[in-house]
Amino acid sequence: MKKMSNIYESAANTLGIFNSPCLTKVELRVACKGISDRDALSKPDPCVILKMQSHGQWFEVDRTEVIRTCINPVFSKLFTVDFYFEEVQRLRFEVHDISSNHNGLKEADFLGGMECTLGQIVSQRKLSKSLLKHGNTAGKSSITVIAEELSGNDDYVELSFSARKLDDKDFFSKSDPFLEIFRVNDDATQQLVHRTEVVMNNLNPAWKTFKVSVNSLCSGDQDRKLKCIVWDWDSNGKHDFIGEFSSTFKEMRGAMEGRQVQWECINPKYKAKKKNYKNSGIVILNQCKIHKMHSFLDYIMGGCQIQFTVAIDFTASNGDPRNSCSLHYIHPYQPNEYLKALVAVGEICQDYDSDKMFPAFGFGARIPPEYKVSHDFAINFNEDNPECAGIQGVVEAYQSCLPKLQLYGPTNIAPIIQKVAKSASEETNTKEASQYFILLILTDGVITDMADTREAIVHASHLPMSVIIVGVGNADFSDMQMLDGDDGILRSPKGEPVLRDIVQFVPFRNFKHASPAALAKSVLAEVPNQVVDYYNGKGIKPKCVSEYESSRTLAP
């Protein structure tokens, strides 16, 4: 078994991979210029829809707010996307005119589109292109997309503003105020951070609480100048200026723990002209809450255990294990592909699991004593305790069960996903970050229960679990890529989308001549973010705040 120990060593050498960020989150901001409406008499109500390409099809990822009667809209809502350096990620921005009476999209509402790759935007930081109408004709309208990397500090802040005694700008009613917050960049340009909703006919408005990333608000610099402007909304899009004030995130943090921060809203023209001018109203920040985004290491160091389960494909398409062409052939010195994949991935997960006991299951075989087909049998044949001691224990159970099985079919993986989901579902009752489940499925072919599998994955996306599928052998795995929602959104047969992308699919043949470390790195790259997305999304903090974490908090 000398070769086997080499595999162990090289897999163990990859343990540093979890410390490197595996992808970058990028915030995209969108603005358009010169949008013309089909109806020349009225201005459009534009909204930008972001689509991503997957297997030649476009899927909607997100959309901005609708800005009423505006030909040069600057959108407040930003798109957050994952940027994978090594992939070409095709994006399409579509501008639609959404009239106020319906939210659906009609063909006639299309005002223009622009296609590019995420890499182009990230490398240029700011990309401006013409909007193309149907038939790829360019009009006078253009779109600008600005990219900003979310680096280091991805905490976000919740702000709640109100105002009192604002100037009245309307003759027959009171002002309809809204607030805009801009970040002043190093080159003195201003970047819109947030635009509140309009509060109609009210000089003492209370705007809805909103959330924004610290990165977006001040680029992580608490002393960066923020410019805030209050406008009176007008239906023709020509809003009246009420007043403005400047602040910093540092100053806004004064509104924590029940305190308020207030600013005088000043109209510089009035201030210059009127002797007894005081202000055009008072703007109040009623609360500022900082929400800490915890990292993968915060959770692991806080005592979160990775519970690792293995499922192995024993369908007849693998070939008779006694035949040297079989994917399950047990060679005296050379591990087969199933063993190589199992060891490479398992060795890494093993280090995050305190008891080093791994449940291991098989599917697609007839099992003794009655030789009925099972899709979730324990490979140690102990249904009450399917756990094996360490990866070595899984390897031994696999080798000893093979001669006792009749390889059969079909390739159904939904039952094993449901089995692990049941354990993960029990874990959610603790409301703690104590156990996260990873299911490693090793299979030689395309699965036969795709509809049930999609349903099981959508259900599992609400639980603390991830599914890793390694395709072994030379089958056509193109259908399997559909389960890995990197580019399109996986949906259940009923149309329900996954809450988060929890499946990673990798064909083992891509790594046949690479080190096991390369396979493990590719397969496990997304796991840290999946763990973080799950617990942060549920608002679950690491169990005990480690020294590591307290050293990276924002200074007060």
What is the Cα–Cα distance from 523 to 539, expressed in whole angstroms? 27
- Whose CA is closest to 212, among 29, 21, 23? 29
The answer to whether the predicted template modeling score (pTM) of the entire model surpasses 0.75 is no
Q: For the segment 311-334, what is each residue's pLDDT rounded down to a tens digit?
A: 999 999 999 999 989 999 988 888
Q: What is the DSSP string of 206-238?
A: BPPPEEEEHHHHHTT-TTS-EEEEEEE--TTS-
Cβ(195)–Cβ(262) under 8 Å?
no
Contact residues for 154 (Cβ-Cβ < 8 A; gap 6+): 25, 213, 214, 215, 293
Contact residues for 46 (Cβ-Cβ < 8 A; gap 6+): 32, 35, 66, 67, 70, 73, 95, 96, 97, 98, 111
Q: For the segment 117-166, what is each residue's pLDDT rounded down to a tens digit?
A: 988 888 788 999 999 987 777 778 999 999 987 765 668 899 999 999 99
Distances (CA, A) of 510 to 376, 429, 516: 28, 39, 11
50 confidence band (pLDDT: 50, 70, 90): very high
Would you state the pLDDT for residue 55?
Answer: 65
Residue written as token pair 């957050």: 80
Cβ(397)–Cβ(405) under 8 Å?
no
- Domain 21-148 top-level CATH class: mainly beta
Residue 434 parent element (H or E):
none
Amino acid of residue 74: V
Identify which has the larger pLDDT, 410 or 507.
410
User: 547 is written with which tokens?
Assistant: 């020294």
- pLDDT-wise least confident of 94-98, 392-396, 462-466, 497-501: 497-501
C-beta atoms surrounding 149 within 10 Å: 13
Domain segments of the chain as ranges: 21-148, 154-289, 294-408+508-543
Distances (CA, A) of 231 to 1, 16, 216, 287: 75, 52, 22, 22
Would you state the pLDDT for residue 219?
Answer: 85
End-to-end distance of the chain based on CA atoms, in angstroms? 57
What is the architecture of the domain spanning 154-289? Answer: Sandwich (2.60)
Q: For the segment 511-538, what is each residue's pLDDT rounded down to a tens digit?
A: 777 776 677 767 777 788 888 889 988 8
Would you state the pLDDT for residue 253?
Answer: 93
Classify the C-alpha dihedral 85-86-88-91 as positive or negative: negative
- C-alpha dihedral (263, 191, 294, 210), degrees to nearest 10: 50
- pLDDT-wise least confident of 56-65, 94-103, 388-397, 540-549: 540-549
What is the Cα–Cα distance from 503 to 526, expressed in whole angstroms? 9
Would you state the pLDDT for residue 156?
Answer: 85
Distances (CA, A) of 126 to 29, 33, 129, 144, 182: 9, 15, 10, 7, 18
User: 469 is written with which tokens?
Assistant: 């599928």
- Whose CA is closest to 37, among 87, 106, 104, 112? 112
Q: Per-residue pLDDT for 80 more than 50?
A: yes
Average pLDDT, the chain: 85
Identify which has the larger pLDDT, 285 or 52.
285
339-356 b/e (C-beta count within 10 Å ≥ 16 → b): bbbbbbbbbbbbebbeee
Would you state the pLDDT for residue 554?
Answer: 41
Cβ(266)–Cβ(166) under 8 Å?
no
Classify the C-alpha dihedral 249-254-260-261 as positive or negative: negative
Would you state the pLDDT for residue 4?
Answer: 40
What is the Cα–Cα distance from 62 to 492, expressed in whole angstroms? 19
Q: Per-residue pLDDT for 247 more than 50?
A: yes
- Whose CA is closest to 193, among 227, 167, 147, 239? 227
Q: Per-residue pLDDT for 556 more than 70?
A: no
Q: Is 452 helix (H, G, I), strand (E, B) or coil?
A: helix
Would you state the pLDDT for residue 18?
Answer: 37
